[in-house]
Structure 1
Amino acid sequence: MVWAEDGEGEELAADNQKVGQVLSGTIDFFTRTENDPAIVEIQTALENAEISYYLNSVQYEEETRYIHYEWRWEVVG
């Protein structure tokens, strides 16, 4: 699993001023197990930490034979 911050998400503003910075990034999870229970565990951990996320993509990588899950997330920094 790889967790990476990669920039600023949606702006958090009020009265035409930035009132908080929203950080965004990805979680990439690689597995060879179809329906890996870690997928539910990752999403549950994000929900428990009150981190906004969505599953951005699921890809099968022919060369490595891994299933690659990618989630996008955002938090107020």
Structure 2
Amino acid sequence: MAAAAAELTDQEAKVAQMLGDVWNAYLALPIEHPMEQQEFCTAIHVCQDKVLGRCGRRAFQSAANAAASKED
């Protein structure tokens, strides 16, 4: 399967940036539990994975569609 270009849409890039901004704002809060920053960071990474995975999914689908059209 040939590699397909995978790029974030402007809206996806905006959401990814907002997640980074949320993390920075969270760091300004006082620490109330020793694990809270690590847990919040992990949660932010899960959200980022969902956003960033969208372009990968589109690229995979595009490549699959291209391969299917060659078979026709």
- Shorter chain as denominator, the TM-score bin is 0.3 to 0.5
Larger Rg computed on CA atoms: 2
Q: Could you state the TM-score of these two structures normalised by the residue count of structure 1?
A: 0.32
Higher helix share: 2
The structure, 1 or 2, with the larger RCO (C-alpha pairs under 8 Å, 6+ apart) is 2
Normalised TM-score (structure 2): 0.34
